[in-house]
Structure 1
Amino acid sequence: MILENMEICQQQPIASNVYELVLKGQELVNLASQGQFLHVKVSEGTDPLLRRPISIAKIDQDKGELTVIYRAGGRGTNMLALKQKGEVVSVLGPLGNGFSLEETSKGAIALLIGGGIGVPPLYELSLQLVKRGVKVVHVLGFAGSSDVFYEEKFMELGETYIATMDGSHGEKGTVIEIIDNKQLLFDTIYSCGPTPMLKAIETAFPDKKGFLSLEERMGCGIGACFACVCHVKDDPTKTAYKKICTDGPVFAIGEVEL
């Protein structure tokens, strides 16, 4: 983990209130891996005080660039969305424990399930799995057509299905319904998205090897403030917990209470 001032190489909207931000800074880029996140300072002063956690979507070590994708809506992310190419932002990272590539062997099938703004960290994961000879299948869920992004990019890597709740793009329904309807076969699950979706995955595939990346509001991002804790599952004392920012954000299915 380091603190680095990174230059904005590009920023553009890619869906409704969703922005793709490309940052340049070789030191941090060299440390980053799939499933980790950055803590970005959105202003030069102390207002707002807290940094914003944003998942890493792509790592380009040759160019020294990291691509992150975030949804604007709160005060901090709205301020970040106004920043232009050439500006510099303070970035703390890379943070958290990401997805392990060793969990799926060459020739196996990995099912990557994303929901909304939980889709971005799956892109770098998919890139790395493909490099290792793993077959990837993507099921990505969004609210509607205006929320869909990176569909073509995922399609370049493997079989890709889009689910929208209103049926305006892809197929109408949830990601679980798509998996069931298509009778998709797979060896390992990797998923990131809203908690209800992760709960549904855990319930639907309790016997499958799988890993879930949790979305959570954070304070410090380094485990000091205890703002993002979750209880360990099946703990009889109800006192054991994990910190999403440092112990996660990726956990094995069944490891923590959702």
Structure 2
Amino acid sequence: MESMTLTRKEMSSLLLSLQGNHEQSPLTILQTAWSKNHQQACQKGASLPAFLTTEMRPVIEKVIQGIQFNGFSLQEIADLGSLIEYSNVSITSIQNWVKRDFKELFVIKEGRKYSINQAALLFIIDDLKSNLDFLSIRRLFHTLFFGREKDITEFIEPVQFYYAYSTMFEELDANNDQMFDIVGHTSTANSQDTLLDNMVKAYADRVAQSMTGISKAQQKGVSNILVISALSVQTSYLQAVAKRYYNATVFLDFD
């Protein structure tokens, strides 16, 4: 069976839609994502057999059935995370994060499930950990989601931020090769790293400036965190490729 795969932008769109904050329905987002990955089968009129060989997690089956979500269980969040391309989300890591490493962010009332924003936070943690330790991630979260006020009034929703940097990454990777599309690099022009830095930061500045309800100073911090997050997505891809080659080397036993 083939597993369904979603990009981060598709996953963040799905979360926004489940929250009621996206122009497309959850089912439409899933249909579009699946069709994109099965273009040949759809063109040949073989969409039914292709769909029947696609593994659907129980949480996705609920979305297909139109079931309303008031929240997610940890297993449902792990199942959603497993659909994200080049992601390392697992139920074990999620349990560690909510019960130990980031427990102050995941307080829920007895009997209630985790919110859509808390699910987005877990996916953001998974991305950021490719470049940062947990202490650094907590500091970024304090700046990004709670500002400097002691009442920790939330001014940017995690799911909105997840969508922002996921969209940013995809638009800077127009050819979908999981690498930023850098132009202008020649032997006499700016170096590759300078071009990358300038391109990503300029885009992040525009996104941050478009956000309402935050100050100019906060926009600067948000812009920097957008850069970190988008770069972390690319890092996740590189780590996944390296891990695949490691597994192939061990499994195939070239000795």
Fold-level similarity (TM above 0.5) = no
Larger Rg: 2
TM-score w.r.t. the length of structure 2 is 0.25
Q: Counting strand residues as a fraction of each chain, which structure ranks higher?
A: 1
TM-score w.r.t. the length of structure 1 is 0.25
Q: Counting helix residues as a fraction of each chain, which structure ranks higher?
A: 2
